[in-house]
């Protein structure tokens, strides 16, 4: 990419529409617009009507906006031409711009120029891509907050404290002969551990924040005829899975998408787990085990209308090893068939998080929908314990890696400080942590990393 070029692209999605937008950015953007629309009197930040003519014949009537540098999206001269949304017309308008000296923009090049010209930091640029690809309102809101610089603002006091820490250590070394006091070992440890704990907490938020950006896999598990497929259909509010009185109807994993509190979730209905003689059913249960191993959250469905068996307790013990499990006791519309002894055994077998003051299962009826809303709310709460507005989540793996590396550098410093390492050695760790934070915001990011980030953007953005 040559940042001195003037670039052009269609900035609206492919297909026909009422309007289509062609965007120019670069030093020759204004001159190109005046060549295509001679006589147009461009005024900054104003939409102006123009007639597009070629060889004296009218091609279209358009609106042209001029955003002079540096007060534009890219911090360069930007021209935006709103024409009628015919793909043929928009492509011809791009060709006219190319004929006047522009070149086609590459994917994400407008946003990359905004980053390179200091209009955005890298976290804001990434948030723009997330906003474009948002599938839920919660995703869009989170991306919009980061696009406004929420993550950069959260990092600012940490970088300030880190820089101040470095300055004090450097001063103690450089001016030791001028009676400048050096930081004591306990003071050094306290300052490093405070910054490290915040960085670690931010990095840890990626464990759940990634579900907001990428989605989560929720798998239903249980014995045959526990009502998994019926509950699957209820959660989807559609008849997606076949339901029959005969056990073992579901032989394969069936998946569908839904939203839980704004989180995109892939819901998986699995084959019932039991000892099976039929080869096809055994294959289905093998797929079930694979799906459960990959799942971010498992919904264990138990049949409350039949007595619990040793196979049920074996399944509970197996599922209990998984990191996130919610238990639903299905068929609450029927009398509970669990004896007091069976319920006591179930309480011992199930050590899963549960609503305060309640047994570790939720009562539901896949037949009439009773308890379904409480189940939905608890599934969402289990995926994301805190409200999405309650803190700054990390939803990007690259950002999480830099935060983890910065926290690790401070951990090395704390360990070296305990061993009475000289301040020069401690500063190496501090500068390493600072470099990771700079890489997170893009101040020291390598060009190949930038290429990977912006290549995921659409053309025209």
Residue 67 is classified by DSSP as E
Condensed to tens digits (0 to 9), the pLDDT of residues 167-211 reads 888 876 755 555 555 678 888 888 889 999 999 999 988 887 888
Q: What is the pLDDT of residue 52?
A: 93
- DSSP sequence for 280-297: HHHHHHHHHHHHHHH-SE
| Three-class DSSP category at 371 | coil
Residue 277 is classified by DSSP as -
Q: What is the mean pLDDT of residues 223-243?
A: 77
Residue 217: C-alpha distances to residues 207, 229, 297, 298, 364 (Å):
13, 16, 7, 9, 21
Other CB atoms within 10 Å distance of the CB of residue 294: 10
pTM, two decimals, is: 0.75
pLDDT band, residue 389 (cuts 50/70/90): very low
| CB 338 within 8 Å of CB 346 | yes
Q: What is the pLDDT of residue 446?
A: 61
Q: Measure the CA–CA gap between 409 and 426, rounded to whole angstroms.
A: 10
Every domain of the chain with CATH number 3.30.1360.120 lies at 7-120
Residue 25 is classified by DSSP as E
User: Pairing relation of β-strands 17-25 and 78-85?
Assistant: antiparallel
Fold of the domain built from segment(s) 7-120: Gyrase A; domain 2 (3.30.1360)
State residue 269 phi and psi, 5-degree precision: -95, 125
User: Pairing relation of β-strands 103-104 and 17-25?
Assistant: unpaired
Strand 254-260: give its sheet, edge to edge: 254-260, 263-269, 216-222, 297-303, 325-330, 362-363
Every domain of the chain with CATH number 3.40.50.300 lies at 212-383
Fold of the domain built from segment(s) 146-205+396-439: 1.20.120
Please name which of 224, 227, 219 lies closest in space to residue 329, comparing C-alpha atoms: 227
Every domain of the chain with CATH number 1.20.120.430 lies at 146-205+396-439
Q: What is the pLDDT of residue 146?
A: 87
pLDDT band, residue 225 (cuts 50/70/90): confident
Helix crossing, 397-418 with 206-214: angle to 10°? 170
Q: Measure the CA–CA gap between 101 and 346, rounded to whole angstroms.
A: 74
Other CB atoms within 10 Å distance of the CB of residue 432: 16
Superfamily of domain 212-383: P-loop containing nucleotide triphosphate hydrolases (3.40.50.300)
CB contact set of 50 (below 8 Å; sequence gap of 6+):
37, 40, 61, 62, 63, 64
Q: Measure the CA–CA gap between 188 and 185, rounded to whole angstroms.
A: 5
């Amino acid at each position: 990419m040559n940042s001195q070029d003037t670039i052009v692209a269609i900035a609206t999605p492919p297909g026909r529409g009422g309007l289509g937008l062609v965007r120019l950015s670069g030093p020759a953007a204004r001159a190109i617009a005046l060549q295509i629309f001679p006589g147009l009197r461009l005024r900054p930040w104003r939409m102006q009507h123009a007639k597009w003519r070629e060889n004296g014949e009218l091609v279209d009537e358009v609106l042209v906006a001029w955003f002079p540098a540096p007060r534009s999206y890219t911090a360069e001269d930007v021209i935006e031409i709103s024409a009628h949304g015919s793909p043929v017309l928009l492509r011809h308008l791009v060709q006219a711009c190319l004929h006047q000296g522009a070149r086609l923009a590459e994917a994400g090049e407008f946003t990359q120029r905004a980053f390179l010209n200091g209009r955005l930091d890298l976290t804001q640029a990434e948030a723009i891509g997330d906003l474009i690809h948002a599938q839920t309102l919660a995703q869009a809101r989170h991306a919009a907050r980061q696009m406004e610089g929420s993550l950069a603002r959260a990092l600012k006091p940490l970088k300030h404290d880190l820089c101040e820490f470095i300055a004090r250590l450097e001063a103690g070394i450089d001016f030791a002969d001028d009676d400048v006091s050096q930081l004591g070992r306990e003071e050094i440890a306290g300052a490093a551990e405070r910054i490290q704990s915040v960085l670690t907490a931010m990095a840890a938020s990626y464990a759940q924040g990634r579900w907001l950006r990428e989605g989560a896999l929720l798998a239903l598990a249980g014995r045959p005829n526990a009502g998994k497929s019926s509950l699957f259909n209820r959660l989807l509010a559609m008849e997606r899975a076949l339901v029959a009185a005969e056990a073992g109807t579901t032989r394969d994993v069936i998946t569908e998408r839904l939203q839980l509190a704004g989180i995109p979730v892939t819901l998986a209905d699995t084959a019932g787990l039991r000892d099976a003689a039929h080869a096809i059913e055994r294959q289905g249960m093998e797929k079930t085990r694979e799906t459960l191993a990959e799942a971010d959250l498992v919904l264990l469905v138990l049949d409350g209308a039949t007595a619990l068996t040793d196979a049920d307790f074996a399944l509970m013990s197996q599922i209990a090893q998984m990191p996130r499990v919610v238990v639903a006791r299905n068929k609450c519309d029927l009398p509970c068939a669990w004896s007091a002894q069976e319920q006591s055994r179930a309480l011992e077998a199930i050590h899963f998080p549960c609503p305060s003051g309640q047994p570790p299962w939720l009562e539901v009826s896949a037949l009439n929908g009773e308890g379904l809303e409480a189940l939905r709310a608890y599934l969402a709460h289990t995926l994301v314990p805190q409200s999405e507005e309650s803190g700054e989540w990390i939803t990007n793996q690259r950002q999480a890696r830099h935060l983890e590396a910065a926290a690790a550098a401070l951990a090395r410093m704390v360990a070296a400080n305990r061993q009475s390492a000289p301040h020069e050695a401690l500063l190496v760790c501090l500068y390493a942590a600072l470099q990771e934070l700079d890489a997170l915001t893009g101040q020291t990011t390598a060009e190949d990393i930038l290429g990977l980030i912006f290549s995921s953007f659409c053309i025209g953005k």
